[in-house]
Amino acid sequence: MSLLYEKFLSCRGVTTDTRTLQGGEMFFALKGENFDGNAYAMKALEAGAAYAVVDQGSAYDGASDRIIAVPDTLQALQDLARCHRERSQVRGERLTVIGLTGTNGKTTTKELIRRVLACKYKVTATEGNLNNDIGVPLSLLKITPETEIAVIEMGANHPDDIARLVSVAEPDYGLITNVGKAHLLGFGSFEGVQRAKGQLYDYIAEKGKAVFLNVDDPVLSAMAASRPGLSVIPYGIQHWNALVLPSDAQHPFLRMAVPEDVSDSDCLLGIETHLAGAYNANNVLAALAIGLYFGVSLDEAIQAVGEYVPANSRSQLAHSGSNVLILDAYNANPTSMAAALDNLAQVQAPRRAALLGDMRELGADSVKEHVAVLEKLSGMGLDCVCLVGEEFHKALSQCPIQAEWFATSEDLAKRLPALAFADTAILVKGSRGIQMEKVLTAFPLS
Protein backbone atom coordinates (compact mmCIF):
# COMPACT_ATOMS: atom_id res chain seq x y z
CA MET A 1 0.00 0.00 0.00
CA SER A 2 2.87 2.38 0.70
CA LEU A 3 4.15 1.84 -2.85
CA LEU A 4 0.68 2.28 -4.32
CA TYR A 5 0.12 5.44 -2.28
CA GLU A 6 3.45 6.89 -3.40
CA LYS A 7 2.46 6.37 -7.03
CA PHE A 8 -1.01 7.80 -6.36
CA LEU A 9 0.54 11.04 -5.06
CA SER A 10 2.28 11.48 -8.41
CA CYS A 11 -1.02 11.15 -10.31
CA ARG A 12 -3.74 13.67 -11.13
CA GLY A 13 -6.31 11.55 -9.33
CA VAL A 14 -8.04 8.21 -9.83
CA THR A 15 -10.71 6.93 -12.17
CA THR A 16 -12.58 3.71 -12.80
CA ASP A 17 -13.86 4.73 -16.25
CA THR A 18 -11.62 5.12 -19.30
CA ARG A 19 -14.15 7.55 -20.79
CA THR A 20 -13.35 10.13 -18.12
CA LEU A 21 -9.58 10.04 -18.54
CA GLN A 22 -7.92 13.40 -19.07
CA GLY A 23 -4.34 12.20 -18.61
CA GLY A 24 -2.17 11.43 -15.62
CA GLU A 25 -4.73 9.51 -13.53
CA MET A 26 -4.46 6.15 -11.84
CA PHE A 27 -6.99 3.76 -13.40
CA PHE A 28 -8.58 1.06 -11.24
CA ALA A 29 -9.85 -1.94 -13.21
CA LEU A 30 -12.94 -2.86 -11.21
CA LYS A 31 -15.11 -5.90 -11.89
CA GLY A 32 -18.87 -6.19 -11.76
CA GLU A 33 -21.57 -8.63 -12.71
CA ASN A 34 -21.63 -7.40 -16.31
CA PHE A 35 -18.19 -5.89 -16.84
CA ASP A 36 -14.50 -6.49 -16.21
CA GLY A 37 -12.35 -3.37 -16.06
CA ASN A 38 -9.21 -5.51 -16.40
CA ALA A 39 -9.98 -5.75 -20.12
CA TYR A 40 -9.56 -1.98 -20.41
CA ALA A 41 -6.22 -1.64 -18.62
CA MET A 42 -4.08 -1.15 -21.73
CA LYS A 43 -6.71 1.12 -23.27
CA ALA A 44 -6.49 3.27 -20.14
CA LEU A 45 -2.70 3.55 -20.45
CA GLU A 46 -2.99 4.39 -24.14
CA ALA A 47 -5.55 7.09 -23.28
CA GLY A 48 -3.12 8.76 -20.90
CA ALA A 49 -3.48 7.05 -17.53
CA ALA A 50 -0.27 7.15 -15.53
CA TYR A 51 -0.90 3.70 -14.05
CA ALA A 52 -3.48 0.92 -14.28
CA VAL A 53 -4.30 -1.16 -11.21
CA VAL A 54 -5.43 -4.67 -12.20
CA ASP A 55 -6.26 -7.97 -10.52
CA GLN A 56 -3.39 -10.41 -10.11
CA GLY A 57 -3.58 -13.12 -12.73
CA SER A 58 -5.69 -11.06 -15.13
CA ALA A 59 -4.77 -10.85 -18.80
CA TYR A 60 -2.65 -7.70 -18.46
CA ASP A 61 -0.86 -8.55 -15.21
CA GLY A 62 2.81 -7.79 -16.01
CA ALA A 63 2.07 -6.38 -19.49
CA SER A 64 3.64 -2.99 -18.65
CA ASP A 65 5.77 -1.38 -15.98
CA ARG A 66 2.79 0.96 -15.49
CA ILE A 67 0.54 -1.96 -14.61
CA ILE A 68 0.14 -2.53 -10.86
CA ALA A 69 -1.29 -5.94 -9.93
CA VAL A 70 -3.17 -6.37 -6.63
CA PRO A 71 -5.17 -9.26 -5.13
CA ASP A 72 -8.45 -7.33 -5.44
CA THR A 73 -8.84 -3.98 -7.20
CA LEU A 74 -11.90 -2.83 -5.24
CA GLN A 75 -10.23 -3.64 -1.92
CA ALA A 76 -7.10 -1.83 -3.10
CA LEU A 77 -9.18 1.24 -4.02
CA GLN A 78 -10.77 1.27 -0.58
CA ASP A 79 -7.46 0.68 1.21
CA LEU A 80 -5.86 3.50 -0.78
CA ALA A 81 -8.71 5.84 0.13
CA ARG A 82 -8.39 4.96 3.82
CA CYS A 83 -4.65 5.52 3.65
CA HIS A 84 -5.16 8.92 2.00
CA ARG A 85 -7.79 9.90 4.55
CA GLU A 86 -5.49 8.95 7.45
CA ARG A 87 -2.50 10.85 6.04
CA SER A 88 -4.41 14.00 5.10
CA GLN A 89 -3.75 16.80 7.57
CA VAL A 90 -4.72 20.42 8.16
CA ARG A 91 -2.03 22.54 9.82
CA GLY A 92 -0.48 19.46 11.40
CA GLU A 93 -3.77 18.00 12.63
CA ARG A 94 -5.74 15.07 11.24
CA LEU A 95 -8.28 16.19 8.62
CA THR A 96 -11.85 16.40 9.96
CA VAL A 97 -14.34 14.16 8.14
CA ILE A 98 -18.11 14.39 8.58
CA GLY A 99 -19.98 11.25 7.55
CA LEU A 100 -23.69 11.25 6.85
CA THR A 101 -26.30 8.67 5.96
CA GLY A 102 -30.07 8.27 6.25
CA THR A 103 -33.11 6.99 4.42
CA ASN A 104 -34.11 10.29 2.83
CA GLY A 105 -32.47 13.62 2.16
CA LYS A 106 -28.82 12.51 2.25
CA THR A 107 -27.70 14.22 -0.93
CA THR A 108 -29.68 17.43 -0.36
CA THR A 109 -28.39 17.68 3.20
CA LYS A 110 -24.84 16.99 2.07
CA GLU A 111 -25.05 19.79 -0.51
CA LEU A 112 -26.43 22.20 2.10
CA ILE A 113 -23.64 21.28 4.52
CA ARG A 114 -21.03 21.71 1.78
CA ARG A 115 -22.26 25.21 0.96
CA VAL A 116 -22.55 26.30 4.59
CA LEU A 117 -19.07 25.08 5.52
CA ALA A 118 -17.63 26.64 2.35
CA CYS A 119 -18.30 30.04 3.96
CA LYS A 120 -15.22 29.39 6.10
CA TYR A 121 -13.39 26.30 4.82
CA LYS A 122 -12.05 24.61 1.71
CA VAL A 123 -14.48 21.68 1.51
CA THR A 124 -14.20 18.36 -0.29
CA ALA A 125 -17.55 16.57 -0.51
CA THR A 126 -19.13 13.60 -2.21
CA GLU A 127 -20.05 14.49 -5.79
CA GLY A 128 -23.69 13.78 -6.59
CA ASN A 129 -24.73 10.59 -4.84
CA LEU A 130 -21.48 8.61 -5.24
CA ASN A 131 -22.07 7.07 -1.84
CA ASN A 132 -21.41 3.33 -2.25
CA ASP A 133 -18.41 0.97 -2.02
CA ILE A 134 -16.88 2.69 -5.05
CA GLY A 135 -18.19 6.23 -4.61
CA VAL A 136 -16.97 6.71 -1.03
CA PRO A 137 -13.31 5.88 -1.77
CA LEU A 138 -13.43 7.97 -4.96
CA SER A 139 -14.73 10.89 -2.90
CA LEU A 140 -12.00 10.50 -0.28
CA LEU A 141 -9.32 10.34 -2.98
CA LYS A 142 -10.41 13.81 -4.15
CA ILE A 143 -9.11 15.28 -0.91
CA THR A 144 -6.28 17.69 -1.73
CA PRO A 145 -3.64 19.44 0.39
CA GLU A 146 -5.96 22.48 0.34
CA THR A 147 -8.91 20.56 1.82
CA GLU A 148 -9.77 21.75 5.33
CA ILE A 149 -12.84 19.61 5.97
CA ALA A 150 -14.52 16.70 4.13
CA VAL A 151 -18.20 15.76 3.94
CA ILE A 152 -18.76 12.16 2.89
CA GLU A 153 -22.19 10.74 2.07
CA MET A 154 -22.74 7.03 2.68
CA GLY A 155 -25.62 4.98 1.27
CA ALA A 156 -26.76 1.49 2.18
CA ASN A 157 -28.88 -1.23 0.59
CA HIS A 158 -27.70 -4.13 2.74
CA PRO A 159 -27.10 -4.77 6.47
CA ASP A 160 -23.31 -4.28 6.57
CA ASP A 161 -22.88 -1.49 3.99
CA ILE A 162 -22.45 1.38 6.48
CA ALA A 163 -20.03 -0.63 8.63
CA ARG A 164 -17.79 -1.13 5.59
CA LEU A 165 -18.02 2.48 4.49
CA VAL A 166 -17.21 4.00 7.90
CA SER A 167 -14.17 1.73 8.09
CA VAL A 168 -12.94 3.46 4.92
CA ALA A 169 -14.01 7.05 5.63
CA GLU A 170 -13.22 6.97 9.39
CA PRO A 171 -15.52 9.93 10.15
CA ASP A 172 -14.94 12.13 13.18
CA TYR A 173 -18.54 13.37 13.21
CA GLY A 174 -21.74 11.70 12.06
CA LEU A 175 -25.24 12.63 10.96
CA ILE A 176 -28.22 10.40 10.22
CA THR A 177 -30.88 12.46 8.46
CA ASN A 178 -33.69 10.04 9.33
CA VAL A 179 -34.55 6.34 9.33
CA GLY A 180 -37.49 5.15 7.26
CA LYS A 181 -38.80 2.31 5.15
CA ALA A 182 -36.48 1.89 2.18
CA HIS A 183 -34.60 -1.02 0.60
CA LEU A 184 -36.62 -3.42 2.74
CA LEU A 185 -35.75 -6.14 0.25
CA GLY A 186 -32.11 -5.82 1.35
CA PHE A 187 -32.60 -4.92 5.02
CA GLY A 188 -35.47 -7.30 5.74
CA SER A 189 -37.42 -4.94 8.02
CA PHE A 190 -37.59 -1.43 9.43
CA GLU A 191 -35.58 -2.69 12.41
CA GLY A 192 -32.97 -3.89 9.92
CA VAL A 193 -32.79 -0.37 8.49
CA GLN A 194 -32.24 1.01 12.00
CA ARG A 195 -29.45 -1.45 12.72
CA ALA A 196 -27.74 -0.71 9.41
CA LYS A 197 -27.89 3.08 9.67
CA GLY A 198 -26.99 2.87 13.35
CA GLN A 199 -23.57 1.50 12.43
CA LEU A 200 -22.55 5.13 11.89
CA TYR A 201 -23.48 5.90 15.51
CA ASP A 202 -21.61 2.75 16.60
CA TYR A 203 -18.42 3.92 14.90
CA ILE A 204 -18.65 7.47 16.29
CA ALA A 205 -19.34 6.18 19.80
CA GLU A 206 -16.23 4.00 19.65
CA LYS A 207 -13.78 6.07 17.62
CA GLY A 208 -15.28 9.43 16.67
CA LYS A 209 -16.12 12.68 18.42
CA ALA A 210 -19.85 13.40 18.20
CA VAL A 211 -23.02 13.05 16.14
CA PHE A 212 -25.39 15.81 15.09
CA LEU A 213 -28.79 14.61 16.30
CA ASN A 214 -32.29 15.73 15.38
CA VAL A 215 -33.62 15.44 18.92
CA ASP A 216 -37.18 15.97 17.68
CA ASP A 217 -36.98 12.60 15.94
CA PRO A 218 -37.95 9.86 18.44
CA VAL A 219 -36.37 7.06 16.39
CA LEU A 220 -33.00 8.80 16.11
CA SER A 221 -33.12 9.91 19.75
CA ALA A 222 -33.76 6.34 20.89
CA MET A 223 -30.95 5.04 18.69
CA ALA A 224 -28.53 7.58 20.17
CA ALA A 225 -29.65 6.92 23.74
CA SER A 226 -29.03 3.19 23.32
CA ARG A 227 -25.34 3.82 22.66
CA PRO A 228 -23.62 4.73 25.95
CA GLY A 229 -20.90 7.32 25.61
CA LEU A 230 -22.15 8.74 22.31
CA SER A 231 -21.63 12.51 22.33
CA VAL A 232 -24.53 14.44 20.82
CA ILE A 233 -24.84 17.91 19.27
CA PRO A 234 -28.60 18.58 19.21
CA TYR A 235 -30.77 20.36 16.66
CA GLY A 236 -34.41 20.21 15.59
CA ILE A 237 -37.37 22.39 14.70
CA GLN A 238 -38.92 22.20 18.16
CA HIS A 239 -35.56 22.13 19.89
CA TRP A 240 -34.60 25.41 18.21
CA ASN A 241 -38.08 26.97 18.39
CA ALA A 242 -37.90 27.32 14.61
CA LEU A 243 -40.91 27.91 12.38
CA VAL A 244 -41.84 26.44 9.01
CA LEU A 245 -43.78 29.12 7.17
CA PRO A 246 -46.71 28.29 4.84
CA SER A 247 -46.15 28.02 1.10
CA ASP A 248 -48.37 29.62 -1.51
CA ALA A 249 -48.25 30.76 -5.13
CA GLN A 250 -46.12 33.77 -4.22
CA HIS A 251 -43.85 31.73 -1.93
CA PRO A 252 -43.72 28.20 -3.37
CA PHE A 253 -40.42 27.18 -1.78
CA LEU A 254 -39.64 26.17 1.77
CA ARG A 255 -39.48 29.20 4.06
CA MET A 256 -38.42 29.13 7.68
CA ALA A 257 -37.70 31.37 10.62
CA VAL A 258 -35.04 30.51 13.18
CA PRO A 259 -34.04 32.28 16.40
CA GLU A 260 -30.98 34.48 16.16
CA ASP A 261 -30.01 32.85 19.45
CA VAL A 262 -31.26 29.30 20.01
CA SER A 263 -31.85 30.12 23.69
CA ASP A 264 -33.94 33.21 22.81
CA SER A 265 -36.85 32.79 20.40
CA ASP A 266 -37.92 36.45 20.44
CA CYS A 267 -35.67 37.54 17.56
CA LEU A 268 -36.27 35.43 14.43
CA LEU A 269 -34.26 35.37 11.22
CA GLY A 270 -35.97 34.41 7.96
CA ILE A 271 -34.70 31.71 5.61
CA GLU A 272 -35.79 31.69 1.96
CA THR A 273 -34.77 28.50 0.15
CA HIS A 274 -35.08 27.06 -3.35
CA LEU A 275 -36.21 23.71 -1.93
CA ALA A 276 -39.68 22.31 -2.58
CA GLY A 277 -41.24 20.68 0.45
CA ALA A 278 -41.52 21.35 4.17
CA TYR A 279 -39.83 17.97 4.74
CA ASN A 280 -36.55 19.71 3.86
CA ALA A 281 -36.75 21.84 7.02
CA ASN A 282 -34.78 19.33 9.08
CA ASN A 283 -32.16 19.09 6.31
CA VAL A 284 -31.71 22.87 6.48
CA LEU A 285 -31.40 22.81 10.27
CA ALA A 286 -28.82 20.02 10.09
CA ALA A 287 -26.66 22.19 7.83
CA LEU A 288 -27.09 25.21 10.11
CA ALA A 289 -26.21 23.15 13.19
CA ILE A 290 -23.03 21.85 11.59
CA GLY A 291 -22.09 25.30 10.33
CA LEU A 292 -22.56 26.88 13.75
CA TYR A 293 -20.55 24.13 15.44
CA PHE A 294 -17.64 24.73 13.08
CA GLY A 295 -17.70 28.51 13.49
CA VAL A 296 -19.79 29.70 10.54
CA SER A 297 -21.98 32.64 11.52
CA LEU A 298 -25.74 32.13 11.39
CA ASP A 299 -26.14 34.96 8.87
CA GLU A 300 -23.57 33.41 6.54
CA ALA A 301 -25.12 29.96 6.92
CA ILE A 302 -28.61 31.26 6.12
CA GLN A 303 -27.30 33.04 3.03
CA ALA A 304 -25.54 29.88 1.86
CA VAL A 305 -28.71 27.81 2.30
CA GLY A 306 -30.69 30.40 0.35
CA GLU A 307 -28.27 30.29 -2.55
CA TYR A 308 -28.46 26.51 -2.99
CA VAL A 309 -30.53 25.45 -6.01
CA PRO A 310 -31.27 21.69 -6.20
CA ALA A 311 -30.89 19.68 -9.39
CA ASN A 312 -31.56 16.18 -10.76
CA SER A 313 -35.26 16.20 -9.78
CA ARG A 314 -34.44 16.41 -6.07
CA SER A 315 -36.89 18.73 -4.29
CA GLN A 316 -37.01 20.94 -7.37
CA LEU A 317 -39.82 23.28 -8.23
CA ALA A 318 -40.55 24.39 -11.79
CA HIS A 319 -43.26 26.25 -13.66
CA SER A 320 -45.10 25.15 -16.79
CA GLY A 321 -47.59 27.77 -17.88
CA SER A 322 -49.93 28.32 -14.95
CA ASN A 323 -48.87 25.02 -13.34
CA VAL A 324 -46.33 24.46 -10.58
CA LEU A 325 -44.37 21.20 -10.75
CA ILE A 326 -42.89 19.70 -7.59
CA LEU A 327 -40.16 17.45 -8.97
CA ASP A 328 -39.07 14.81 -6.49
CA ALA A 329 -38.56 12.01 -8.97
CA TYR A 330 -35.02 10.94 -8.16
CA ASN A 331 -36.17 8.21 -5.78
CA ALA A 332 -39.05 7.08 -3.59
CA ASN A 333 -39.81 4.92 -0.58
CA PRO A 334 -42.81 4.79 1.80
CA THR A 335 -41.37 7.43 4.14
CA SER A 336 -40.41 9.94 1.46
CA MET A 337 -43.65 9.32 -0.46
CA ALA A 338 -45.74 10.09 2.62
CA ALA A 339 -43.72 13.25 3.29
CA ALA A 340 -44.12 14.41 -0.32
CA LEU A 341 -47.89 13.84 -0.21
CA ASP A 342 -48.16 15.66 3.11
CA ASN A 343 -46.35 18.58 1.52
CA LEU A 344 -48.66 18.53 -1.51
CA ALA A 345 -51.66 18.62 0.83
CA GLN A 346 -50.32 21.85 2.34
CA VAL A 347 -49.70 23.60 -0.99
CA GLN A 348 -52.23 26.34 -1.61
CA ALA A 349 -53.34 26.06 -5.24
CA PRO A 350 -56.65 26.01 -7.18
CA ARG A 351 -55.99 22.40 -8.22
CA ARG A 352 -53.61 19.67 -7.07
CA ALA A 353 -52.46 16.50 -8.81
CA ALA A 354 -50.12 13.58 -8.08
CA LEU A 355 -48.17 11.69 -10.75
CA LEU A 356 -46.61 8.78 -8.87
CA GLY A 357 -44.42 5.85 -9.89
CA ASP A 358 -43.73 2.57 -8.12
CA MET A 359 -41.56 2.41 -5.02
CA ARG A 360 -38.91 -0.26 -5.66
CA GLU A 361 -37.01 -2.71 -3.43
CA LEU A 362 -39.70 -3.18 -0.79
CA GLY A 363 -39.72 -6.97 -0.90
CA ALA A 364 -42.65 -8.77 0.71
CA ASP A 365 -44.06 -5.47 2.01
CA SER A 366 -44.30 -3.90 -1.44
CA VAL A 367 -48.02 -4.29 -2.14
CA LYS A 368 -48.94 -3.37 1.44
CA GLU A 369 -46.88 -0.17 1.25
CA HIS A 370 -48.39 0.77 -2.12
CA VAL A 371 -51.88 0.17 -0.71
CA ALA A 372 -50.99 2.56 2.13
CA VAL A 373 -50.15 5.21 -0.44
CA LEU A 374 -53.50 4.66 -2.18
CA GLU A 375 -55.32 4.97 1.13
CA LYS A 376 -53.54 8.25 1.79
CA LEU A 377 -54.37 9.51 -1.71
CA SER A 378 -58.03 8.63 -1.31
CA GLY A 379 -58.40 11.09 1.56
CA MET A 380 -56.55 14.01 0.01
CA GLY A 381 -59.22 15.30 -2.34
CA LEU A 382 -56.84 15.65 -5.27
CA ASP A 383 -58.14 16.72 -8.65
CA CYS A 384 -56.08 14.14 -10.55
CA VAL A 385 -54.07 11.03 -9.64
CA CYS A 386 -51.97 9.11 -12.17
CA LEU A 387 -50.07 5.98 -11.15
CA VAL A 388 -47.25 4.17 -12.96
CA GLY A 389 -45.90 0.64 -12.52
CA GLU A 390 -46.84 -2.93 -11.69
CA GLU A 391 -46.74 -2.47 -7.91
CA PHE A 392 -49.39 0.23 -8.03
CA HIS A 393 -51.38 -1.99 -10.40
CA LYS A 394 -51.39 -4.79 -7.81
CA ALA A 395 -52.30 -2.33 -5.06
CA LEU A 396 -55.22 -0.94 -7.06
CA SER A 397 -56.74 -4.43 -7.23
CA GLN A 398 -56.89 -4.41 -3.41
CA CYS A 399 -57.67 -0.74 -2.88
CA PRO A 400 -59.51 0.78 -5.86
CA ILE A 401 -59.39 4.57 -5.92
CA GLN A 402 -60.18 7.23 -8.51
CA ALA A 403 -56.96 7.18 -10.51
CA GLU A 404 -55.56 6.46 -13.96
CA TRP A 405 -52.91 3.71 -14.20
CA PHE A 406 -50.10 3.40 -16.75
CA ALA A 407 -47.55 0.68 -17.34
CA THR A 408 -44.67 3.11 -17.98
CA SER A 409 -43.83 6.76 -17.48
CA GLU A 410 -43.69 7.11 -21.28
CA ASP A 411 -47.33 5.98 -21.48
CA LEU A 412 -48.28 8.58 -18.90
CA ALA A 413 -46.38 11.30 -20.76
CA LYS A 414 -48.45 10.56 -23.89
CA ARG A 415 -51.69 10.90 -21.90
CA LEU A 416 -50.85 14.14 -20.08
CA PRO A 417 -51.55 16.67 -22.89
CA ALA A 418 -55.18 15.48 -23.01
CA LEU A 419 -55.56 16.17 -19.28
CA ALA A 420 -54.96 19.89 -19.99
CA PHE A 421 -53.65 20.87 -16.57
CA ALA A 422 -54.09 24.52 -15.59
CA ASP A 423 -53.50 26.36 -12.30
CA THR A 424 -52.42 23.05 -10.80
CA ALA A 425 -49.76 22.07 -8.28
CA ILE A 426 -48.40 18.76 -9.60
CA LEU A 427 -46.24 16.35 -7.59
CA VAL A 428 -44.00 14.07 -9.68
CA LYS A 429 -42.41 11.27 -7.66
CA GLY A 430 -41.26 7.66 -8.05
CA SER A 431 -38.31 5.34 -7.68
CA ARG A 432 -35.31 5.83 -9.95
CA GLY A 433 -36.11 2.77 -12.05
CA ILE A 434 -39.55 4.14 -13.02
CA GLN A 435 -37.95 7.27 -14.55
CA MET A 436 -40.80 9.59 -13.71
CA GLU A 437 -38.79 12.54 -15.02
CA LYS A 438 -39.86 11.39 -18.49
CA VAL A 439 -43.30 12.90 -17.90
CA LEU A 440 -41.67 16.33 -18.05
CA THR A 441 -41.69 16.06 -21.85
CA ALA A 442 -45.39 16.88 -21.59
CA PHE A 443 -44.75 20.09 -19.65
CA PRO A 444 -42.94 22.97 -21.40
CA LEU A 445 -40.98 24.51 -18.51
CA SER A 446 -40.81 28.25 -18.12
Backbone angles phi, psi at 19, to 5 degrees: -70, -15
| pLDDT category of residue 192 using cuts at 50, 70 and 90 | confident
pTM, to two decimals: 0.83
Cα-to-chain-centroid distance, residue 70: 32
| pLDDT category of residue 313 using cuts at 50, 70 and 90 | low
Q: Which of 435, 157, 109 is nearest to 289 (CA)?
A: 109
If DSSP codes are grouped into helix, strand and coil, which group holds residue 37? helix
Host H or E run for residue 69: strand 67-70
Average pLDDT score over residue span 279-303: 96
User: pLDDT per residue over 383-442, tens digit each?
Assistant: 999 999 999 999 999 999 999 999 999 999 999 999 999 999 999 999 888 999 899 888
The per-residue DSSP string of 364-420 comes to GGHHHHHHHHHHHHHTTT-SEEEEESHHHHHHHHHS--S-EEESSHHHHHHHHHHH-
Long-range contacts, stretch 39-44, CB < 8 angstroms, 24+ apart: 41/67, 43/18, 44/18
Written as one letter, the residue type at 148 is: E
| pLDDT category of residue 263 using cuts at 50, 70 and 90 | low
Pairing verdict, β 323-328 and 316-320: antiparallel
Helix 334-346 with 366-378: angle, nearest 10 deg: 10
Residue 260 pLDDT > 90: no
Domain boundaries, the chain: 2-76, 88-307, 316-442
User: According to the model, what pLDDT value does residue 184 have?
Assistant: 65
User: pLDDT per residue over 34-45, tens digit each?
Assistant: 889 999 999 999
Query: 46, 21 in Cβ contact below 8 A?
Result: no
Instruction: Tell me if 2-76 shares its fold with 316-442.
Output: no
Query: 331, 431 in Cβ contact below 8 A?
Result: yes
User: pLDDT per residue over 275-290, tens digit each?
Assistant: 888 889 999 999 999 9
Q: How far is CA 167 from CA 94, 199, 211, 258, in A?
A: 16, 10, 16, 36
The per-residue DSSP string of 308-353 comes to ----TTSSEEEEETTEEEEEE-S---HHHHHHHHHHHHH---SEEE
Residue 315 pLDDT > 90: no
The C-alpha atoms of residue 348 and residue 278 are separated, in whole angstroms, by 13
Residue 94 pLDDT > 90: yes
Query: Would you identify the CATH topology of the domain 2-76?
Result: 3.40.1390
Residue 138 pLDDT > 80: yes
User: According to the model, what pLDDT value does residue 414 have?
Assistant: 95
Q: Into which CATH architecture does domain 316-442 fall?
A: Alpha-Beta Complex (3.90)
Looking at the domain covering 88-307, what would its CATH class be?
alpha beta
